[in-house]
């Protein structure tokens, strides 16, 4: 088996350290969610906000407020 030079060992060590840092940032460590966890939380919040918006628009259309307002704006 071929022996590694000190420069090659240094490059492998630097690459290993960089990969570990990237993994910690993406996945987190010691209870930290990392970027992946933060994106999942943001997705949940966005989904909840979208549901609330659709419900609000549905209520406004159902009560006639939204349709009546639009009708009043566009009719002379």
The predicted-structure confidence for 18-66, as pLDDT tens digits, reads as follows 999 999 999 998 888 999 999 999 999 999 999 999 999 889 888 888 7
Contact between residue 36 and residue 27 where contact means Cβ atoms under 8 Å apart: yes
pTM exceeds 0.95: no
Residue 34, burial from CB neighbour count under 10 angstroms (0-12, 13-18, 19+): middle
Say if CB 33 and CB 41 are below 8 A apart. Answer: yes
Is the pLDDT assigned to residue 5 strictly greater than 90? Answer: yes
Q: What is the dihedral of CA 61, 62, 63, 66, to 10 degrees?
A: 0
Residue ranges of domains in the chain: 38-76
Q: What pLDDT score does 71 carry?
A: 78
**Rounded (10°) CA dihedral 51, 52, 56, 61:** 0
């Amino acid at each position: 088996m071929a022996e590694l030079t000190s420069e090659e060992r240094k490059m492998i060590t630097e690459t290993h350290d960089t990969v570990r840092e990237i993994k910690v940032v993406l996945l987190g460590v010691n209870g930290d969610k990392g970027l992946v966890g933060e994106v999942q939380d943001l997705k949940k919040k966005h989904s909840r906000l979208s549901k609330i918006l659709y419900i609000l628009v549905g209520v406004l259309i159902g009560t006639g407020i939204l349709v009546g307002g639009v009708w009043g704006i566009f009719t002379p």
